[in-house]
Amino acid sequence: MNSVLRIFKRDKLRVFLVICTSMLGNLLTLYPITRVSYIVDSIANSTLTFDDVIREIYILILIGISKYIISSISDYFTFIGYYNTMKNVSEDVQKSVYKHTPILFNRISPGELISRSTNDIVDYISPIASFGLFCFMEGVVYNSYITVLIFSKSTLIYTLLIIAPYVIQTIYLYRRKSYQEVYYDKMLKTMDKITDETLENVKGVRVIRTYNLLAKVRKSFVSKLNIYTDNNLEYMKKVKLFQPINMLSTAVSYMIAVIYGFYLIKNGEMTIGGMMSIFLVLTLIQWPYIALSQFIISFIETKKGMQRIEEIENQEVLVNNKEAKYELNFQEKIEFKDFNFKYEDKLVLKNINLTIGKGKTIGIVGKTGSGKSTLIKQLLRLYPIQNQSIFIDNKAIEEYYDYSIRNSMSVAFQEYQLFSKSLKDNILFYRENLEDKLEEALVNADLKKDVDKFTEGVDTLIGENGLSLSGGQKQRIAIARSLISNPEILILDDSLSAVDAATEKNIIENIKNERQGKTNIIVAHRVSAVRHADKIVVLSDGEIIGQGRHEELIETCDWYRELDEYQNKEAKKNEEE
């Protein structure tokens, strides 16, 4: 209930205006009907004068104009609610999602997140604020007016008997709501899966084609669509059952009105004019009860939709600023002290002791899966960590606001993300104030020579709808993106794996020359990328098995020496070829 009320609390003034205008509008709709009994009875008693007729016509015109104005205002404020709610709830979801690091996706899949924050909000949540509110006003306020009107022209028992079939119908539909909720829930969960699968299929379209798996993927997708359609049909059947029930209520109500009405007229408890008014009202009474049922349906859908939204909002923020009291202004060193890290139950980093001094270049090497990326992700505070085991300038990393840490760092990730935008926009990445540094970043990332060959230069569109780039070019865009802000700490996470040896050499040289006094952390597969680092860390199976300068490691670390020898041989072979 509270989840639904929350929507209305967000725009109280609008709801208040809708209530006032629709109360007034409904009153004006029914007023002419009350005049019917007066006119019919005056004709029957031969007391109706010409002046009375003119007066009634004036009243009707005035009411018509007022009703038009009031309804227009009411409709505007009712239907604007749909867009207000869509905007408000979408903003709420965005806010809560961005409180999390990507570990949120271990608990709520991207597909679930998308279907909840688009499909649920657009189709099931927002309508309650407009159509739902309209139905509520018609079902409650208009309905009450009609009931009072019938009562004013007849007796209490007659009124109760006429509305009884509709009241029974509403109670019956309300009691069936949990039954409908089951199908509705299944329907939404299937939609989550469909969105997830669509997302994965779009991302993996190349792999799917390469492995000739189109038919299989399509079959799996269609089977989910079928489940969705079946559940939707079941849900619709339950909702549509309402129509025959409503027709039955109407028939019974009419029968009672006619039979009992004649009895009342015969006994002088109701006038013929009164009966005519009631018959006019009976043509109107069906709608408010339809509206009430529509409101119940909309309420069920909104409640479920909001519960799904609140499930996202209530996710515990595992990396938070609870202990934070400082903004990071990196001065001295980063230290890992006896640091361990687990993904769920899997221990991935063990007993890490490492110091990274300001202004130094650190290389990290190791086999795939040895924990290199996991180690640098700790600096970005992307995962909750064991307390008091990473220190920056002698203070625990938890004592710094996470945004201030991230402001001091720039990363080119292994899984770089490029967008279907121009090359320039991909590098600037919403930081328009850095535009004058673009040229420098292109040069330092050794990308300038490639961009000069593109006919549109930095404005060349890249991605699905633009130019297809080589893996090395894409990596260098990610490197340029991280270099352009001249960050205090630069992290290249295996970002040189797809560039050739000469390009790698250029980039490393540029970093060395242009980033004097700044800190660089370079994760690499090739020794050549870290050979000149102030310190190289060798990771194996989550443990540091060697650290020192290149020459020291050649002496002390067998694995490093063998890697260096092997890569030197390979390089020589390549040169000879």
> Which residues sit at the interface with ligand ADP, rule CB under 6 A?
343, 346, 348, 366, 368-374
Q: Which is nearer to ligand ADP, 49 or 368 (CB)?
A: 368
- Radius of gyration of the chain measured on its C-alpha atoms: 36
Q: To the nearest whole angstrom, how small is the minimum distance from the Cβ of residue 80 to ligand ADP?
A: 43
Residue with tokens 């934070």: 324
Distance CA 451, CA 444 (A): 13
Looking up tokens 């489940």 gives 227
Q: How far is CA 397 from CA 295, 321, 350, 401, 486, in A?
A: 51, 10, 18, 9, 22
Cβ of residue 345: shortest distance to ligand ADP, in angstroms?
10
What is the residue-wise DSSP string for 195-263? HHHHHHHHHTHHHHHHTT-HHHHHHHHHHHHHHHHHHHHHHHHHHHTHHHHHHHHHHHHHHHHHHHHHH
Residue 451 main-chain phi, psi, to 5 deg: -60, -35
State residue 428 phi and psi, 5-degree precision: -65, -40
Which tokens belong to 381? 């505070």
User: Over the range 500-537, which residues count as b (16 or more CB within 10 Å of their CB) and which as e?
Assistant: ebebbebbbebbeeebeebbbbbbbbbbbbbebbebbb
Report in angstroms how near the CB of residue 215 gets to ligand ADP at its nearest: 31
Six-digit token pair at 503? 């390009």
Q: β-strand 489-493 against 519-523: which pairing, if any? A: parallel
Least Cβ distance, residue 341 to ligand ADP (angstroms): 9
Q: How far is the CB of 25 from ligand ADP (least distance, A)?
A: 57
Q: Given the complex with ligand ADP, which of 16 and 343 has the nearer CB atom?
A: 343
Distance CA 391, CA 338 (A): 11
| Nearer of residues 121 and 376 to ligand ADP, judged by Cβ | 376
374 or 503: CB nearest ligand ADP: 374
* Residue 373 Cβ vs ligand ADP, minimum distance, rounded to whole Å: 3
Q: For residues 428 and 450, what is the distance between their CA atoms, to the nearest angstrom? A: 18
DSSP 121: I
Q: Which amino acid is at 521?
A: I
Tell the smallest beta-carbon distance from residue 493 to ligand ADP (Å).
Answer: 7
Q: Which is nearer to ligand ADP, 375 or 442 (CB)?
A: 375
Centre a 10 Å sphere on the Cβ of residue 498 and count the other Cβ atoms it contains.
Answer: 15
Q: How far is the CB of 371 from ligand ADP (least distance, A)?
A: 4
Nearer to ligand ADP, 337 or 350 (CB): 350
Closest CB to ligand ADP among residues 257, 539: 539
Please give the distance of CA 178 from its chain centroid, rounded to a whole number.
26
Give CA–CA dist 352/242, Å, rounded. Answer: 66
Nearest distance in Å: CB 496, ligand ADP: 14
Residue with Cβ nearer ligand ADP (22 or 370):
370
For residue 495, the minimal CB distance to ligand ADP (Å) is 12
How far apart are CB 391 and ligand ADP at their closest, in Å?
A: 21
SS3 for 187?
A: helix
Q: How many residues does the structure list for the chain?
A: 577
DSSP string, 427-488: HHTT-GGGGGGHHHHHHHTT-HHHHTTSTTGGG-BBSTTSB---HHHHHHHHHHHHHTT--S
Q: Which is nearer to ligand ADP, 373 or 519 (CB)?
A: 373
Q: Which is nearer to ligand ADP, 205 or 347 (CB)?
A: 347
Q: Smallest distance from the beta carbon of 101 to ligand ADP, in angstroms?
A: 11
Residue 440 or 541 with smaller CB distance to ligand ADP? 541
Cβ-count burial 8-17 (b if 16+ within 10 Å, e if not): bebbeebbeb
**Cβ of residue 411: shortest distance to ligand ADP, in angstroms?**
13
Those residues whose C-beta lies under 8 Å from the C-beta of residue 122, and which sit 6 or more positions away, are 86
Please, which residue, 306 or 375, has the CB nearer to ligand ADP?
A: 375
Identity of the residue, 153 or 372, whose beta carbon is nearer to ligand ADP in the bound complex: 372
